[in-house]
Amino acid sequence: MKWQLHDLIIEGLSNDATVLANWQTSFGCLPQPTAAAPSLIVELNLVEAVPAPPPGEPQFRQGDVLHYFVAGEQVTAHFPRFGQLQLDLTTGETRGRLVPAAIDTYGVLEDLIAIGLSPHLRRRGYFLIHAFAAAYQGQGVLIVGGSGAGKTTTGMSLLNAGWQLLSNDSPILTAEGQILRYPGVLAAYPETFARFATTAHLAQTPISKAGRKKITWPAEAIWPDIWLDSAPISLILFPQIENRDTHELERLPAAATLARLLPHAVEQWDRPLIPRHLALLRALVEQAPAYVLHLSPDVLAIPGVIEEKLRN
């Protein structure tokens, strides 16, 4: 399968029909060229067991989840539970061997695809960041936060109010100050979908808190014209769920904004690209004002607070 991602053509290959079907669900909002040669190739094949890691110690560890082995332009991303990606930074190719758990575990396949693409994209001027991104009247807003901060709830409130979507999880940033579209499905717990009139029909009643599962759904299946290809970044938000009566925006200085962005953007193993990445982020925080968004339970009022800030 092939997808057009801005001026690049991504080719996805797999020996497994389920991998390809899930991939197409995630990337289905992108145009599909037919005859053009691919710019980047990602191959994800299923195997029975996780391949052995390369010899020696990894150059970078992300806990027990992900280990990077770097040998010049050849990089191995080793996932002890899910498989292994071999990245050739010269050719723009990623070859992966994954075990079934990578397909069966929520969110892993999308993460592996992004990990397999992001170093290649950086070398072509496209820098991913872990965030939600939406646009209001052509003005791009970046919503950054860890799990449980309210990032998805804030983003869903904006889409419900008629905003356009740039990315639900991994928008692309450029040195020109643009947020570019990156594909993916919406993912939230049932109670988040239930909060909004346009998505309430998708919510399922959880049996117990321990048994809660996130719902994933293509945004374009809810709002056919929801996707926007690009927008200049106008605002950076760091949501924070609190027990309060009203929403409030607290301005952040540029240095504090940069410090908050770094863990969601820069991959420490990719040392040759860190200077370019830092320069981009520094320019970003000088271009767009940033705020902590102190959230109250009234999710329907979130868009109005942000829109007022964009108008002023």
For 132-311, CATH gives 3.40.50
Strands (E), the chain: 2-5, 8-13, 40-46, 60-62, 66-71, 74-79, 83-88, 93-98, 127-128, 132-136, 139-143, 164-167, 172-173, 178-180, 186-188, 215-217, 230-241, 248-252, 290-295
Contact 136, 159 (CB under 8 A): no
**Phi, psi of 151, deg, nearest 5:** -60, -50
Domain with CATH 3.40.50 in the chain: 132-311
Name the band, by pLDDT with cuts 50, 70 and 90, for residue 203. confident
What whole-number distance in Å separates Cα of residue 134 and Cα of residue 160?
Answer: 11
Contact 215, 203 (CB under 8 A): yes
Q: Which of 94, 86, 83 is nearest to 11 (CA)?
A: 94
The arithmetic mean of pLDDT across residues 85-102, rounded, is 97
The string of pLDDT tens digits covering residues 139-156 is 999 999 988 889 999 999
Q: In Å, how far from its chain's centre is CA 147?
A: 13
Burial (0-12, 13-18, 19+ Cβ within 10 Å), 133: buried
Assign 251 to helix, strand or coil: strand
Contact 263, 305 (CB under 8 A): no
pLDDT for 159 equals 97
What whole-number distance in Å separates Cα of residue 141 and Cα of residue 239?
Answer: 12
Strands (E), 118-229: 127-128, 132-136, 139-143, 164-167, 172-173, 178-180, 186-188, 215-217
Q: Tokens 């449980």 correspond to what residue?
A: 148
The string of pLDDT tens digits covering residues 30-55 is 999 977 899 999 999 999 999 999 99
pLDDT for 234 equals 97
The string of pLDDT tens digits covering residues 253-305 is 999 999 999 999 999 999 999 999 999 999 999 999 999 999 999 999 999 99
What whole-number distance in Å separates Cα of residue 297 and Cα of residue 300?
Answer: 9
Q: How many residues does the chain have?
A: 312
Q: Looking at the predicted structure, is the pLDDT value of residue 168 above 80?
A: yes
The arithmetic mean of pLDDT across residues 208-213, rounded, is 56
Contact 42, 74 (CB under 8 A): no
pLDDT for 214 equals 84
